[in-house]
A and B are shown apart, each in its own frame.
Chain A
């Protein structure tokens, strides 16, 4: 959490940084005007090809941020990525009428599913030798239950969107942290997982990517740009979705937030046979339990400043 406890001291600190370095703030006029021009043209322009970084997204320096994250925040970051990915998947499928038999079958399977599990791997990209940053096993169940198991950090996170509660489990320390109430700011990304919400919220352009062998299966690809509504907590980014050409089963989804990083979702199981206890927000026996209250913040929606 950023420390704002001594604002005046920090303001002097900021000014000193600039004064001592002797560097003026950069002139961003041309850059912003160029971007504004792109924005104006956007409604009529072809969507960028998946795999090609978009200028705004590439500047977010996601890779550096992930590398610099503490272990505990990596899982949280992964959770956000997972939610975005899941949203992208559903968004592509539900906005792609006429995309072929395979996709129609996949869409139908997703529409009927109430529980799903998948694996999310976030890795470096673009240098031909990807380095895995985070791997997370995800379980989702309607209505409003999510379980994230980080295979990198060992931390498990459970969220009930309906109840507004969260449980974090740290097995090495035998510690359980109950977060109650969670608050809308944290819950918001998780709401995106659920199908009913996603159908309404996302609009993806679609572009056939042809066929290729993916995870050892002949697969048909569909590319698109996942675009959240204004005011939601995710940036837009290119996605690729690959389904088994014969069976219509999901094979792989690739999200490309920038040219340095990509996330891959695979190992999909729809309606897996899992015990209800998997989604239990009760701390396991033998765990030291800690309860935390997070500061409540206003939910998104106040994007338009009041002038």
Chain B
């Protein structure tokens, strides 16, 4: 067994910045050890086949990676105890309870409601003076409204839970106590909401989960509460910023936008291509090896932190021709942005419907949509789990 023990420095780039040249950093090795900006030493896995192999192989454990005692980002503290940070069979028992609510079939039934929310937000934007801020006027309220309605959370509480999730998703620049306080705030919010729904059940996902707990004892009260937190955070922060980073890409590719305006039927494919090309997150969720694993020419010993670089999978030239080119007509649905294996994004189909309806609305109804400030003025919130824009000022052509 050979291990090159000297890790190389690795810093993920923000959207809009050139991606780090992995081949140079890694010395051409598809799997290599790296030192992250917070000082953690991890193994990084690159390339489509290696990344796919790693994220479906159960010898790479999420539960071990997020266990207390291992070096964690803020997001990982949140993941511990949630389905995102569990391995089978605990993961399976809990995910089964919510899986059927998020299938393509179920989510497709929500499409008219998603489209109506999109239309309402664009009506409101069009009725106010320009510029608009996409973050507060559109990207955040759309998925927040949708997941609130699914769960049965009052949408007027969005501001409160968004402040908590901002803190939770930030990481090494943040005081760990702040993250714990935010986690406690979010948790307490759901303890109260679950009690009130237990007294007055409604036709929503929280009430269904309460029934699974109370009638069939399929999850503990703590698991129920954490599941609600997970669905709420996972259900809006990711999609909101995927809308933003996708728009940044589209602003740089007016020719592609013109194709979508001319043929809105291209939008579902374009959403896959935008998911493939854009960089939503800086550092992916880590796994820890349960035993020594041979992958990509390396042998990773047991007990090591490992991260898949999804961008290198999504831009692997052996899978996607001319991978750095944004091509909305490309067959891109095999991207790994939603992951694969047991942790494949629970909300992937919901995100797809929200993104499709968002771009249908924005491209169809706001011609000439563009940045209202120089791209270099855009600021991202601190934290590497999700690239979250503070503001995204936009203008469009008045009719």
Is this pair of chains taken from one and the same complex?
no
- Residues of B with Cβ closer than 8 Å to A? none
Q: Which A residues fall within an 8 A CB radius of B? A: none
